[in-house]
Structure 1
Amino acid sequence: MTIDKEAAERLANSFGAEAARYDRTRPPYPEALVANLVAASPGPRVVEVGCGTGVLSRQLLAAGLEVLGVEHDERMAAFARGAGVDVEVGKFETWDPAGRAFDAVVAGQSWHWVDAEAGPRKAADVLRPGGVFVALWHVFGTPKAIADAYVAAYEKVAPRMQHRVGHDYDEAFEAYRAGCVRTGDALVATGAFGEPVHWRSDWEQVFTTAEYADLMRTMSPMALLAPEQATRLLDEVGAAIDAIGGRFTQRYSTLAVAVPRR
């Protein structure tokens, strides 16, 4: 699906309207990767890019790090603050660190929203020598019956907006793996970073029909649908889940790229 700049901006701003739902449905990050991140950081001071409601920030705080979130959506920032995360509002590329330097720059499910040229340069600017940049993404794949129902529903309600990301696990994994490589290469190209290291953690999560509908409501393509289109899509996917017993297991991998600051 190709979208224009205006639609992309709508997608980027769609999460805040569902901040509470987003926080309760979006999965946390595997503890093994959180431990890797803590071990890779030369100190406790972390800035999280696009911290959202603070899902990852809270895990890092619990691990003993000092976290500052940078989040462009006021609604998401307000939720994160209410959950105990210190947040400054702004886009990472134009955010003013006010002379502060950090041990780690972290982006959980957010780096693809950052400008591809300005983002790596800003990461280099705010990291102290020896610091580390880490970006993480969740990859998922639904059972075929549900994936097929999802695609069929889009063909009915919005045939020009078919959205397949994450339905085929192998296809999604390769896309995200390539994205991690590109992210690492872009930082290295600034001349300020060393060689990237890649991490991976595999896991599963069980969803009921209602739980998956709740999660789907937070997915950005839903923001491009009219309310009646969204309701019909959710009903059709829900019927497919009900048909296989009202619950299913979704396969996940979380991929991360860690790049050290020279």
Structure 2
Amino acid sequence: MPTLPISGNEPHRHRQVAESFGSDAERYDRTRPSYPDALVEAVVAATPGPDLLDVGTGTGIAARQFRAAGCRVLGVEVDARMAERARQHGIEVEVAAFEAWDPAGRAYDAVVSGQAWHWIDPVAGAVKAAGALRPGGRLAVFWNVIQFPPGLAEAVAEVCQRVMPDAPFDFRAMTKGALDASQALLGKTADGIRGTGGFGAPEQWRFDWERTYSRDAWLDQMPTQGAFTRLPPDKLAEVLDGVGTTIDAMGGSFTMPYATVAVTAARTGAQGRHSARSGPVRCRPGRRPAPG
């Protein structure tokens, strides 16, 4: 899932979780998956120019992909530790919560956010994005949705519930259809975009892919997930031991299906001074998917 459901279904109010990922920025950067090339190609193909703002850039995973596609990228990141890691990869980053970030008169052809928009107020974030975009610019926020293989979801949920009974996360969601469970978040995101009055109708895009994990590779990534970043070491070790035992019983590895889902819309409005140019200047062209 993009993030496990939090009590009240308002993850952006749990800022202490949003600001905890930098506790091990190196591990996050090393183990978290990137995004399908087809997604990057679709976004840049629908974007009128090369200037891109990456919201919640983290360690710059998505930013580096868009830079490789020919975009000029500025990141905004609330966690200074994550921002420093992104800078080590050559990404320019400003440290701020996006809702409070000052564009200082700058405007962009695209605002994107990978695996981070759920930590941002969906209304205030959409308003800020609208104000930072040139007319015709593209807002695209996206997540890698984990679709656990049969057996693994139940085992992970059981050990997490046992070790972390008071955690604010709904671990049972792991055992449900991941895409179905994501619809509430995607719906709130689309509603926030509609509420600005500054965008065309939001669309959903979807890209399916998969990755095979060894036991060690999956356990290496787990501590970077929001449910575990603030967990005491002894409790984390207990979770990892229980999940590792399950993966051992599956033969020591498994294939994880992913669906990368995006909510995207174009900025409306009259042509402004920021967007005037002799002709459209795109990032490297790609292919736009049919709405999912």
TM-score class, shorter-chain normalisation, is over 0.9
- Give the AA of the match of 1:85: I
Quote how far apart the aligned CAs of 1:228 are: 0.7
* Unaligned residue ranges in structure 1 (runs of 5+): none
Quote how far apart the aligned CAs of 1:26 are: 0.9
- The equivalent of 1:187 in structure 2 is 193
Select between 24-33 and 143-152 the one with higher mean Cα deviation. 143-152
- The equivalent of 1:167 in structure 2 is 174
Between the two proteins, what is the percent identity of the paired residues?
A: 46
Matched-pair contact (CA < 8 Å) for 1:137–1:176: no
Quote how far apart the aligned CAs of 1:50 are: 0.4
40, 46, 52: which one aligns with 1:46: 52
Q: Secondary structure at the match of 1:222?
A: coil
Partner Cα separation in structure 1 for residue 15 and residue 202 of structure 2: 30
Partner Cα separation in structure 2 for residue 7 and residue 180 of structure 1: 17
Classify 1:83/1:230 alpha carbon distance in 2 versus 1 (closer, same or farther; 3 Å): same
- The equivalent of 1:17 in structure 2 is 23
- The equivalent of 2:212 in structure 1 is 206
Q: Secondary structure at the match of 2:254?
A: strand
Asked if 1:145 corresponds to 2:168, the answer is no
Q: State the structure with bigger RCO (CA 8 A, min sep 6), 1 or 2.
A: 2
- The equivalent of 1:2 in structure 2 is 7
Partner Cα separation in structure 2 for residue 22 and residue 65 of structure 1: 23
Matched-pair contact (CA < 8 Å) for 1:134–1:258: yes
Matched-pair contact (CA < 8 Å) for 2:11–2:118: no
Alignment of 1:67-216 (within 5 A): 67-161=73-167, 163-164=170-171, 167-168=174-175, 170=177, 172-216=178-222
TM-score normalised according to structure 2 size: 0.84
Q: Secondary structure at the match of 1:136?
A: strand
* Unaligned residue ranges in structure 2 (runs of 5+): 1-5, 269-292
Quote how far apart the aligned CAs of 1:186 are: 1.6
Matched-pair contact (CA < 8 Å) for 2:123–2:195: no
Quote how far apart the aligned CAs of 1:152 are: 2.0
Matched-pair contact (CA < 8 Å) for 1:142–1:166: no
Select between 215-224 and 230-239 the one with higher mean Cα deviation. 215-224
Partner Cα separation in structure 2 for residue 151 and residue 246 of structure 1: 19
Select between 187-196 and 148-157 the one with higher mean Cα deviation. 148-157
Matched-pair contact (CA < 8 Å) for 2:26–2:85: yes
Partner Cα separation in structure 2 for residue 258 and residue 7 of structure 1: 23
24, 36, 39: which one aligns with 1:33: 39
Matched-pair contact (CA < 8 Å) for 1:142–1:169: no
Classify 1:5/1:114 alpha carbon distance in 2 versus 1 (closer, same or farther; 3 Å): closer
Classify 1:214/1:163 alpha carbon distance in 2 versus 1 (closer, same or farther; 3 Å): farther
Task: Give per-residue Cα distances to partners, 1:102-141, cap 9 Å, x unaligned.
Answer: 0011011111111233111111111111111000011112
Quote how far apart the aligned CAs of 1:205 are: 0.6
Quote how far apart the aligned CAs of 1:158 are: 1.9
- Give the AA of the match of 2:149: P
| TM-align CA RMSD | 2.0
Matched-pair contact (CA < 8 Å) for 1:130–1:260: yes
Task: Give per-residue Cα distances to partners, 1:128-174, cap 9 Å, x unaligned.
Answer: 1111100001111222322222122123322233642763362x202
Select between 33-42 and 115-124 the one with higher mean Cα deviation. 115-124
